[in-house]
């Protein structure tokens, strides 16, 4: 990746490690209602933010020059930097953000220079993309290649209150709401389309026909497929290798 911008006298070429983590946050504020259902206040696409935690590596002179260049940018009164020459395994803002063209970003947090090997050094940064171009097809991919430690169950919505006499009063919802939490491995295209789908669907209800390896999405008390749900959280866990990403989804019954 190349970093340039206002005040930077010499553009800096750095390697971004594949340990980066996209930090995408949609402009949704979720609230659980008293009956166990979930609703979202949506502030719209303009409230979505695309951030990333990255680590840049190089020789000491490379990392020191990078920090000096970012200081030049600050000294010039500009906190906007230009990102270009981004490699295919450096899509740190997420696969539905177009990294193939020049991007504008800002540095939200600076780490300290650290020695990582005998002759190698690194520095951590948190970046935010400014008005990124978004790509992808809004389609829900097949959810498969899941980690074994998923959660699939429904809540037991009984509230019991004791009294001074020792008797109990209780309230019991008419139904118990389901919750599913799982981590999946998806190919590049599927990950791009999933992020686009969630960005488009936002707080709306959608249907999942099946999840590979899951018999009861809301637990054995609630029966089998399909599941009508909302996605109240997704955590992009970054790239696994050259072709796959990992993502953690939290789905609740709608």
HSE of 115, CA atoms in CB hemisphere, 13 A: 3
184 DSSP β-pair partners: 146, 247
Per-residue pLDDT, 164: 73
205/79 Cα distance (integer angstroms)? 39
- Running DSSP on this structure, what letter comes out for residue 214? -
> What 3-state DSSP class applies to 16?
strand
Give the Cα separation of 130 and 215 in Å (integer): 42
Q: What stretch(es) of the chain map to CATH 2.40.30?
A: 2-129
Q: What is the pLDDT of residues 53-95, one digit of tens each?
A: 999 999 999 999 999 999 999 999 999 999 999 999 999 999 9
Q: Does domain 2-129 have CATH number 2.40.30?
A: yes
- What are 186-208's pLDDT values in tens digits? 999 999 999 999 999 999 999 99
- Cβ contact 210:49 at 8 Å: no
What is the enclosing helix (H) or strand (E) of 128?
strand 121-129
Q: 3-state DSSP call for residue 231? A: strand
pLDDT score for 162? 76
Name the least confident of 14-18, 39-43, 166-170. 166-170
Whether residue 165 is predicted with pLDDT greater than 80 in this model: the reply is no
How many other CB atoms sit within 10 Å of the CB of residue 200? 13
Q: Is the peptide bond before 226 cis (omega within 30 degrees of 0)?
A: yes
């Amino acid at each position: 990746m190349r970093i340039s911008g206002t005040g930077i006298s010499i553009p800096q070429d750095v390697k971004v490690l594949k340990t980066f983590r996209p930090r995408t946050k949609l402009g949704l504020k979720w609230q659980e209602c008293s009956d166990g259902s979930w609703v979202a206040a949506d502030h719209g696409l303009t409230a979505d933010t695309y951030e990333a935690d990255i680590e840049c590596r190089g020789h000491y002179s490379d990392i020191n020059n990078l920090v000096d260049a970012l200081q030049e940018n600050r000294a010039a009164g500009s906190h906007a930097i230009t990102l270009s020459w981004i490699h295919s395994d450096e899509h740190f803002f997420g696969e539905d953000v177009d990294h193939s063209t020049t991007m504008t970003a800002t540095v939200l947090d600076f780490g300290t220079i650290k020695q990582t090997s005998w002759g190698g050094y690194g520095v951590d940064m948190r970046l935010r993309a400014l008005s990124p171009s978004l790509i992808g097809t809004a389609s829900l991919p097949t959810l498969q290649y899941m980690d074994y430690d998923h959660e699939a169950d429904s809540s037991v919505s009984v509230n019991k209150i004791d009294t001074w006499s020792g008797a109990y009063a209780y309230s019991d919802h008419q139904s118990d709401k389901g919750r599913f939490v799982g981590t999946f491995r998806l190919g590049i295209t599927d990950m791009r389309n999933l992020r686009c789908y969630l960005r488009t669907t936002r707080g709306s209800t959608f249907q999942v026909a099946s999840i590979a390896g899951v018999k009861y999405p809301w637990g054995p008390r609630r029966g089998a497929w399909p599941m009508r749900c909302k996605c109240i959280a997704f955590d992009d866990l970054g790239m696994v290798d050259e072709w796959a990403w990992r993502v953690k989804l939290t789905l609740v019954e709608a």
